[in-house]
Amino acid sequence: MKTPETTPAAEDKPTDFIREIVAADLASGRHAAVRTRFPPEPNGHLHIGHAKSICLNFGIAREFGGRCNLRMDDTNPSKEESSYVRAIIADVKWLIGGWADAQLAMANPESTEPFYTSDYFDPLHDFAVQLIEKGRAYVCDLTPADTEEYRGSPDRPGRESPYRDRPIAENLDFFARMKAGEFPDSSRTLRAKIDMTAPNMWLRDPVLYRIRHVEHHQAGSSWCIYPMYDFAHGLSDYIEGITHSVCTLEFEVHRPLYDWILQALELPRKLPHQYEFARLNLSYTVMSKRKLLQLVRDKLVKGWDDPRLPTISGMRRRGVPADALRRFAYTIGITKYNGVTDVAVLEHAIRQQLNRTAVRRLAVLRPIKLILTNLPDDYYEGLEAINNPEDPEAGQRALPFSRTLYIERDDFSETPPPKFFRLKPGGEVRLKYAYIIKCDDVIKDESGRIQEVRCTVDRESRSGLANANRKVKGTIHWVSAPHAIETEVRLYDRLFTSPDPDDEGDFLRHLNPNSLEIVTARAEPSLALLGAAATCQFERLGYFTLDPDSSPDHLVMNRTITLRDNWAKNG
Ligand code: ATP
Ligand code: MG
């Protein structure tokens, strides 16, 4: 087990324009300490795009000795659930767990609980009342459709609401009655009084509060008015003392509103500032929560943590190490330009990490039987195999060898193409960690299907013996049949066949019909000793991780990733 890092290593200290701003603000004394936040809305599971934002916000806190708040941005109870809240907490903890710096408390310094925007419903309401008192907000009786229609469009100015000049006392009275539950859903709103002709649509008297008679998963039934994102977000930042409020580029156009609300309230403390960076887009991947939810609801995948999804929970289940995701987030960097990152970059980060850490095991995914005819029936030999050539400390293990083996169906061919260096009639091949064998015969059933391959073993050729250097072109993997354990293996491929599944039209038409194949593999017995969360390399096949569906008498493994990029040759 690796011990958690306490301070970031040099390679773990990226630079980008946001970190430069933070460094400058600390150097100039504009802020004594940096405080960032990661504000997910609990309306779905987090995905790899969120991982980029988590690594940025928690990374900055860690590198500059500050703090990052995990804050549930829970202002829209009709789409949110407490199961999502729990999943988000688990995902964030897992992703940054390896960092475990003492100064980087998850959220509240006192506990591991996150912050909730809903905990600020009282102060947010008070801020709204203050805006009304200052003549900067009013209660509007327009229907949602009329509100939209009055807003105009980017090339056409909006029109002022007939309720815009309501006297302050009347606004206060109506807002109190909205809160008291006197009015039905959507019948009234509280709006900021800014400018209906502003070129920036977000400044055209945006809605600050709306009426929704629904229970809140966190706040219970105390509220029937809920604040809108733009109102709640900046003020939550202010309440928490956030210095740098970092979000994705789509919010750039919201920034004038973010600033307007904070300034209109004439607040006493230092104000937070919003900065924007380009979101992560990945080829062959959908990241919109709406689309992910559709895949889950329509049962096109097995749940939010399906290993084919780009969700953090899915990738964790698949066996992707948190280190690899953090390394990926740092590799792609932070810029202001939207683009698409090749999913191969992520896959490379995963392979690189697993190559260093994963122990090697032998397993056969699609077995055929192989008999070594020149060994006695009860032959047994305990061979030794190294656990990880990249890590001498990983040691060795015993590998049972016997007369009856399984090899991979693909590693034998009766009609081999040119340059086929695996097993063929009359040909020789080396069994990894063991002997050179020669194929003498093939036994088939009536339908012509291969039942077993019969070989003789060269007893002088064991790896390590004098005769072992004898040249044979191919080496194949194998397991001893009487010692093998059966394991269900789930082989995943990309969920979408198109590099841009989000193009025009229905994204579901790009679903890969072969994204999951299940086989019953045979593995060497030491696999049973592998710890629950451990990932191993099945030699020549890829990296595999135990799935939570496993039980002591039925192992289930996920293929985390193949050893090489099988898509590269397809362009
Ligand atoms: P939606 O608001 O449509 O539900 P969202 O992806 O914006 O979806 P949030 O929960 O609001 O989800 O996101 C939390 C934070 O993660 C925000 O600060 C957002 O900017 C950031 N984020 C979301 N998607 C990405 C992405 N693809 N790359 C980088 N950051 C992202
Ligand atoms: Mg959002």
Contacts of 407 (CB under 8 A, 6+ apart): 364, 367, 368, 370, 423, 453, 476, 477, 478
| pLDDT < 50 stretches in the chain | 1-6, 102-103, 570-571
Cα distance between residue 73 and residue 114, in whole Å: 11
Distance 303 CA to ligand 1 centre (A): 20
454 is catalytic: no
Residues 191, 114 contacting (CB under 8 angstroms)? no
User: Could you give the residue ranges of the DSSP H alpha helices within 121-264?
Assistant: 121-133, 144-150, 168-180, 229-240, 255-264
Q: Which residues line ligand 1 (CB under 6 A)?
A: 39-41, 43, 49-50, 52-53, 247-248, 279-280, 287, 289
pLDDT of residue 570: 47
Helices (H) and strands (E) in the chain, counts: 12, 25
Tokens of 327: 């390394």
Residues 437, 451 contacting (CB under 8 angstroms)? no
DSSP for residue 183: S
432 is catalytic: no
State the DSSP H helix or E strand holding residue 454, giving kind and residue range, or none if neither.
Answer: strand 450-458
Tokens of 236: 């939550």
pLDDT of residue 113: 78
Residues 228, 206 contacting (CB under 8 angstroms)? yes
Q: Which ligand gives the minimal distance to the CA of 47?
A: 1
Q: Which ligand gives the minimal distance to the CA of 42?
A: 1
Among the listed residues 5, 41, 81, 452, the single catalytic one is: 41
Which protein residue has the closest C-alpha to ligand 1 atom 26? 49
134 is catalytic: no
Distance 187 CA to ligand 1 centre (A): 30
Largest separation between any pair of C-alpha atoms in the chain: 101
Cα distance between residue 255 and residue 253, in whole Å: 6
Distance 286 CA to ligand 1 centre (A): 13
Tokens of 561: 């990733």
φ and ψ at residue 4, rounded to 5 degrees:
-65, 145
Sign for the CA dihedral angle at 134, 140, 145, 150 comes to negative
- CB count within 10 Å of CB 285 equals 23
Rg from Cα positions in the chain: 30
Tokens of 116: 């909730």
Among the listed residues 136, 279, 438, 540, the single catalytic one is: 279
Q: Which atom of ligand 1 is nearest to the CA of 251?
A: 20
pLDDT of residue 153: 96
Tokens of 521: 């593999």
Cα distance between residue 418 and residue 408, in whole Å: 19
Angle of helix 48-63 relative to helix 82-96, nearest 10 degrees? 50
Residues 452, 370 contacting (CB under 8 angstroms)? yes
Q: Which ligand gives the minimal distance to the CA of 84?
A: 1
Among the listed residues 166, 188, 210, 289, the single catalytic one is: 289
Residues 249, 276 contacting (CB under 8 angstroms)? yes
Tokens of 282: 């990945």
pTM for this one? 0.93
Q: Which atom of ligand 1 is nearest to the CA of 79?
A: 4
Distance 391 CA to ligand 1 centre (A): 38
Residues in the chain: 571
**Gap between the terminal Cα atoms of the chain:** 38
Residues 416, 332 contacting (CB under 8 angstroms)? no
Pocket probe for ligand 1: among 41, 43, 56, 116, the residue whose CB has the most ligand atoms within 8 Å is 41
Q: Per residue in 398-419, pLDDT tens?
A: 999 999 999 999 999 999 999 9
Edge-first strand listing for the sheet containing 367-372: 475-476, 428-431, 436-444, 450-458, 367-372, 404-408, 478-480
Q: Which atom of ligand 1 is nearest to the CA of 279?
A: 28
Give residue for tokens 């200290």.
13
User: Could you give the residue ranges of the DSSP H alpha helices within 458-559?
Assistant: none
Cα distance between residue 561 and residue 541, in whole Å: 9
pLDDT of residue 5: 46
pLDDT of residue 462: 85
State the DSSP H helix or E strand holding residue 67, giving kind and residue range, or none if neither.
Answer: strand 67-72
DSSP 261-285: HHHHTT-SSPPPEEEEEPPP-BTT-
- Pairing mode of beta strands 244-248, 273-277: parallel
